[in-house]
Structure 1
Amino acid sequence: MDKLPVESNPWKIKDQQEVYNNPWIQITQYDVINPSGGDGIYGKVHFKNRAIGVVALDQQRHIYLVGQYRFVLDRYSWELPEGGGPLNEAPLAAAKRELLEETGLVADKWETLLQMDLSNSVTDEEATVFLATGLTQKQAAPEPTEKLQTMRQPLARVFEWVMQGKITDSITVASVLKLKVLGYC
């Protein structure tokens, strides 16, 4: 595989200060010299968990979506089964846990579908998404703070919803578009 060109870091950090910290995120403000040589500030949100997503695909090419009200967006969102996995936990272990918790599904086969940075301008949050097949239904066990709905839909229909802007969650959008390119729908 061809390597992409990489350049050295042009940013210089003069000082840094933690301005917020909780169990999920840490916010740091940096006094910097930017790439053009000027003084500036930069804020970074460090995530203490990795974002995990799962495309649970059955033999009929249907996938499972989870609906929930997203506090930060102040609206309801339909998306893949998703959650956070501690940085010291294997992403696959977190994916298996999230799929079972949110949908009650267990999969026989797992493969990495994609890895991505979610918002590299202000956060260091990484995401790993898995494709899960060979599904068996068990009992869901959502976290006590979650009020979830699940639905099973043809992947082609979910692709239409993504293209129409009805589904906007970045992990779901990227995953469904990749599945389209790979010929799953």
Structure 2
Amino acid sequence: MSDEPKNTPFSPSVVSPVWAAGQPDPVPWRDLGHEVVHETPWMKVTEHQAVAPTGHPARYGVLRFRNIATGVLPIHSDGTVTLVGQSRFARANYSWEMPEGGAPFHEDPFEAVQRELAEEAGLKARSWKKALTVEVSNSITDEVGITWLAWDLSEAPTDPDPTEVIAVARVPFTLLLQEIERGAVLDSFTVATAYRAYHMAREGLLPSWLAHAMLTRV
């Protein structure tokens, strides 16, 4: 596999927001060369000799993933959502979140997220709508994430990863928002997608019957 740092075809193109009109053109970082300092089947770390936009020299380390992050918030017809709970290694905590996974660069992320929905939550969906495309933590990683909302759900066989012990809970969407607000749900992918789902429900971007169920079920 190439060591070139720009390793994902899904990186979004640069689009200036409307408020950037009239601002001077941004000065980019300059990369003078890099080396791979750590590598696994899922990611690698590259260290760069760089020049900052200010002209200041800098050493810059970047975590580069080999997957597109994917996630889905499954919404049932009664306004509940399915979440999964599992222990996370990095912060040594237990996390409640929507079903999430990764799509290798050669795979369609939508196919990957459908697989994750079945493997982790035991669900499949007839209706899908893209929610977000985000840069997950763009100061230190090039990871891009894509999330969907899914409904018209039915059961599917589960097949968790050999390292995962997953719990499944079905809760009102409004309760998920409350748990986010009190700091009990911290996964950024889930938090961002839940608030996006709330906006979509309020703004008529989802079927009216589904939005009504989401916003009124307590």
TM-score, length basis structure 1: 0.94
- Tell me if 1:62 matches 2:60: no
- 2:107 match: secondary structure: coil
Cα displacement (A) at 1:9:
4.8
Task: Give the helix-richer structure, 1 or 2.
Answer: 2
**Counterpart check, 1:112 vs 2:130:** yes
The percentage of aligned residue pairs carrying the same residue is 35
Question: Which residues of structure 1 form unaligned runs of 5+?
Answer: none
State the shift of 1:15 in Å: 2.3
Residue number in structure 1 paired with 2:164 = 146
CA shift, 1:154, in A, is 0.3
Residue in structure 2 matched with residue 53 of structure 1 by the alignment? 71
Distance in 1, Cα, partners of 2:30 & 2:16? 26
* Partner Cα distance (1:13, 1:3) in 2: 22
Deviations 1:107-139 (A, max 9, x none): 001111111010000001111111111100122
- What is the SS of the residue equivalent to 1:174? helix
Q: Which has the higher strand share?
A: 1
Q: Which runs of 5+ in 2 are unaligned?
A: 1-14, 203-210
TM-score, normalised via structure 2 length = 0.81
Contact 2:149/2:197 (<8 A) preserved: no
Pair 1:85 & 2:78 matched? no
Write the letter of the residue equivalent to 1:135: L
- Identify if the C-alpha distance between structure 1 residues 41 and 3 changes in structure 2 by more than 3 Å, giving closer, same or farther: closer
CA-atom RMSD in angstroms:
1.5
2-structure distance, mates of 1:181, 1:108: 22
The SS at the match of 2:60 is strand
Q: Name the amino acid aligned to 1:91.
A: P
Deviations 1:62-94 (A, max 9, x none): 110000000011010000001111122111100
Aligned partner of residue 136 in structure 1, secondary structure: strand
Match of 1:161 in 2: 179
Displacement, 1:8? Answer: 5.1
SS state at 2:174 partner: helix
Distance in 2 between the 1:28 and 1:140 partners? 36
Distance 2:157 2:64 in 1: 34
* Matching residue of 2:61: 43
Return the offset for 1:3.
5.2
Which of 36, 39, 49 is the matching residue for 1:18?
Answer: 36
Partner SS for 1:23: coil
Choose which of 92, 112, 118 in structure 2 pairs with 1:100. 118
Deviations 1:42-81 (A, max 9, x none): 1111110111101100101111000000001101000000
Runs of 4+ with >6 A deviation: none
Other structure's SS at 2:45 match: strand
What corresponds to 1:177 in structure 2? 195
